[in-house]
Amino acid sequence: SSPMTAPTFINARDPIIDNLRAVAIIFMVIWHSLMWFSTLHCYPQAACAPPQALFWQIVYYPGSLWSVPLFYFSSGMTLMININRGKTTQIWRRSLSLLLFGYLFTSFIMGINQTLHAWVLQSIAAGLLITLLFHRWIRGGVGILLLLACCVSILNISHQVSTPDFALAAGLLAYLREGFQALLINGAFPVFPWIGFIALGVIWQSATERLRRWLLRLAVMVLAMPFFLPVEKYPLSPGYLLFFSGLCILLASSIGLVVRWINRYWDIGILQKGATLLSRYSLEIFVIHYALGHMASVYLPTLKLPIFYSVLPGFGLLMLSLMVLAGWTRFRESLIAMG
């Protein structure tokens, strides 16, 4: 499994982005919960009896395969919003901070379990930095990034998924050197080709209505990719990049309509507030959820539940994270009000 998250440090509240990230976080939590706390593992190649197998497959595809592209895609949308707001200096500073934090957090996680990693943090941060270099040529430059991502996935440069050794075991310089190579081309989440989802988010956010209609038509067409190309996440295949790019566009274009339609019959204002909270703290939620969840799975190996109940510890960690973060926010705001 792999962690999935996106940086929330860039201050932009957009209901579409909030909803996309909230969906991705919920998918992520359910999927990780099944891996950590379930007594039954039904990967596609494993045979399990229904209805457990059906439940596992329903969770596997959106949780393991779709949530990561959603985080990259929504990060690209957020990047474009903040570029338009003139916050490029803030993006540079905080993306670099996330890159450094990702290295430190990965070292911590790998210290608990050598088979684990959190390279998606560095990948998103580096992807944002590279995309930012091209933001003056949104139509051309970011389009080139998207094309390059497709070429890399076709050439399958990331033919071998590698995980750098823990820094204290291999030495800091070796760790950084291997980590830099893994970050760019052959890690679990190499910047190329995963940057394609960020570039697509930038293009979608900056597109005119006419261009969005064309992108939506293309998105519907690429949903047929699984019938023609393999959809592989490790390493990322052309079929995966195209298929889940289409799903990201479809969800981004339809989620607002779905929310408005539901609001006609039920007041879901509290759900929108919940989505905003999840999006605002998505990075913090990932750190708390991923660290505590893996520690529990490593140090409490007997904590295994039937598959339908295995999601409860994961959502318990999610609620704990939200309560701590909400309490901290209120405390900080009260200090500001007093000062």
Q: What is the mean pLDDT of residues 103-126?
A: 76
Amino acid 49: pLDDT: 60
User: Which carries the bigger pLDDT value, residue 182 or residue 49?
Assistant: 182
Q: Which two tokens stand for residue 293?
A: 């969840």
Tens of pLDDT, residues 223-255: 887 777 778 888 788 888 889 999 999 999 998
Tens of pLDDT, residues 179-197: 677 777 777 788 888 999 9
User: Which carries the bigger pLDDT value, residue 3 or residue 73?
Assistant: 73
User: Which carries the bigger pLDDT value, residue 63 or residue 254?
Assistant: 254
Count of residues for the chain? 339
Amino acid 111: pLDDT: 66
Least confident stretch, 58-62, 66-70, 209-213: 58-62
Residue 135 exposed, middle or buried by CB count within 10 Å (0-12, 13-18, 19+): middle
Q: Which two tokens stand for residue 49?
A: 């009896």
Amino acid 34: pLDDT: 81
Q: CA-based angle 105:107:108, to the nearest 5?
A: 65
Cα–Cα distance measured from residue 209 to residue 105, given in angstroms and rounded to the nearest whole number: 40
Which ranges of the chain would DSSP assign to H, the alpha helix? 15-37, 52-60, 67-84, 88-112, 119-133, 143-155, 167-170, 172-181, 191-206, 209-222, 238-263, 269-280, 282-299, 311-338
- Whether residue 293 is predicted with pLDDT greater than 70 in this model: the reply is yes
Q: What is the mean pLDDT of residues 256-283?
A: 80
